[in-house]
């Protein structure tokens, strides 16, 4: 049901995104730890939560941990369950390792990848895949996600070819009430969905897609994450790395 969407790509970015990213990244220091949490709905019913945690290491690496726990129930009976665990290691703005484990309603997937020379080698459901060195996984937090024509599926370990249409600015619910201005992107190709990012700094605000005839949609529950622009270029400060 969710294969390739949650654990799973581009976006033809809107003009000016890269320029705004560089300008925002030049701002003052920002903490490198924190998390990004979403409540996940299927129609009007809550089906679980998706949480990303950002942790700097003393050796200059950044660990991004992803936990997805979803379930669909009718009364006391659970008819569908999905869990996904993803650990990404980043250094110098580059993905250097990834390890994921997924249970898609009883079907298991494993992905192990690492930087190797001028590329990124992945072992997943479709065997060995050689990806570009600057590959971006489908954890969606990376601000350049909307600007890449190819993503790494974190559930199966395959490369996804996608195309994106910029739908412009919309409003998304803010935690605790109110709204957030967001830019919406419709994704087609190997994935079909809508992604949202904040209009100022391109922080991920969620995703929506069809879940067996009903819309599955994310609503931001908490955002204490560091600047994605700084994380993307490897500009973070870990404990013990200076003032």
User: What was the pLDDT predicted at 18?
Assistant: 35
Where does 17-232 sit in CATH, by number? 2.50.20
Cα-Cα-Cα-Cα dihedral of 232, 149, 128, 66, to 10°?
40
Give residue limits of the domains in the chain. Answer: 17-232
Given a contact cutoff of 8 angstroms between Cβ atoms, the answer to whether 46 and 73 are in contact is no
User: Given this model, what pLDDT does residue 238 score?
Assistant: 53
List the chain pLDDT tens, one digit each, 243 residues.
Answer: 454 556 543 222 333 333 333 333 333 344 568 999 999 999 999 999 999 999 998 788 999 999 999 999 999 999 999 999 999 999 999 999 999 999 999 999 999 999 999 999 999 999 999 999 999 999 999 999 999 999 999 999 999 999 999 999 999 999 999 999 999 999 999 999 999 999 988 999 999 999 888 999 999 999 999 999 999 888 876 545 443
Confidence at residue 59, expressed as pLDDT on a 0 to 100 scale: 84
According to the model, what pLDDT value does residue 12 have? 27
Q: What confidence score (pLDDT) does residue 21 get?
A: 36
Q: Note the pLDDT of residue 20.
A: 36
The C-alpha atoms of residue 98 and residue 111 are separated, in whole angstroms, by 7
Closest C-alpha among 28, 6, 231 to residue 100: 6
**pLDDT given at position 7:** 56
Q: Are 94 and 112 in contact (CB under 8 A)?
A: no
DSSP β-bridge partners for residue 157: none
């Amino acid at each position: 049901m969710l294969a390739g969407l949650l654990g799973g790509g581009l976006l033809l970015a809107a003009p000016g995104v890269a320029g705004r990213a560089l300008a925002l990244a030049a701002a003052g220091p920002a903490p490198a730890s924190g998390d990004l949490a979403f409540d996940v709905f299927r129609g009007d019913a809550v089906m679980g939560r998706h949480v990303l945690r950002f942790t700097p290491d003393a050796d200059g690496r950044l660990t991004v941990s992803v936990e997805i726990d979803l379930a669909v129930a009718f009364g006391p009976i659970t008819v569908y369950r999905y869990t996904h665990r993803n650990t990404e290691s980043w250094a110098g703005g580059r993905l250097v390792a990834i390890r994921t484990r997924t249970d898609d309603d009883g079907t298991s997937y494993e992905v192990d990848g690492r930087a190797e020379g001028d590329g990124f080698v992945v072992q997943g459901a479709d065997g060995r895949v050689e990806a570009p060195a600057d590959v971006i996984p489908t954890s969606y937090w990376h601000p350049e996600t909307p600007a890449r024509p190819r993503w790494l599926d974190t559930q199966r370990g395959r490369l996804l070819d996608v195309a994106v249409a910029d739908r412009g600015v919309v409003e998304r619910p803010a935690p605790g009430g109110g709204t957030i201005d967001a830019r919406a992107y419709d994704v087609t190709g190997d994935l079909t969905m809508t992604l949202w990012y904040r209009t100022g700094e391109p922080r991920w605000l969620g995703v929506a897609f069809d879940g067996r005839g009903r819309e599955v949609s994310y609503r931001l529950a908490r955002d204490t994450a560091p600047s994605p622009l700084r994380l993307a270029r490897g500009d973070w400060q870990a404990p013990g790395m200076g003032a």
